[in-house]
Amino acid sequence: MDLSRINKMKINDPRFEQWAQSILEAEESDFSGNDDSHNDPDYVSEYESDSEIEWEPETVALETTLDVSDTTSQNAAPSNEHQEIPTSTPRTYYGKNRYKWTADAPPSNVRTRSRNIISHLPGVIGPAKSLGKLCLEKSAWECLITSDILDEIVLRSNEKLARIRTKYADGNR
């Protein structure tokens, strides 16, 4: 719509309704064409969302030939010459949140995005790694809570108790 032909008009002007109607009609005429983006093979969507992605199994048309010399095929009901039979579909699994996982490996001729490349293996690191798979509770506790952390907890707890003690002190004791 051409913005240069729009004039400013006040709402209480008696010609306001006619003016607004003419602008709306011009807008509708600008967008009255059909949206053939679904039918256009050259149309490229700006984004792909989950609702846009649809999976349909590939189908192959198989030709069936009728043997004229066979008497049973002449008496049989006519069948379709082309039948669509689905080919082998990729094995997929669905998670609890309906996420679709495939059991097949991804194609090897496609570049893997950098955000999907694992740069380090997950697992235990640092001093906890030396404890091994089977460790005692005490050694795991000492690995998580060092003596410095424990001293800090005791110090701050004692300070808090000293502040509270004055509020609840019994003068008769």
Per DSSP, the three-state class of 86 is strand
- What is the pLDDT tens value at each position of the chain, 173 positions in all? 555 555 677 778 888 888 888 888 877 666 555 555 556 666 555 544 444 444 444 433 333 343 444 444 445 555 555 566 555 666 888 888 888 888 888 788 888 888 888 888 888 888 888 888 888 888 888 888 999 999 999 999 999 999 998 888 775 65
- Is position 49 within any domain? no
Query: What distance in Å separates the CA atoms of residue 83 and residue 64, rounded to the nearest whole number?
Result: 8
- Is position 30 within any domain? no
- Give start and end residues of each alpha helix (H) in the chain: 16-30, 71-75, 137-144, 147-167
* Structure tokens belonging to residue 79: 């069948």
- Is position 40 within any domain? no
Query: What distance in Å separates the CA atoms of residue 9 and residue 17, rounded to the nearest whole number?
Result: 10
The number of domains in the chain is: 1
Looking at residue 46, its pLDDT comes to 53
- Is position 145 within any domain? yes
Contact between residue 50 and residue 78 where contact means Cβ atoms under 8 Å apart: no
Looking at residue 157, its pLDDT comes to 97
Query: What distance in Å separates the CA atoms of residue 123 and residue 129, rounded to the nearest whole number?
Result: 9
Burial of residue 159 (number of CB atoms within 10 Å: 0-12, 13-18, 19+): exposed
Contact between residue 58 and residue 87 where contact means Cβ atoms under 8 Å apart: yes
- Is position 105 within any domain? no
Q: What residue numbers bound the domain in which 162 lies?
A: 132-167
- Is position 146 within any domain? yes
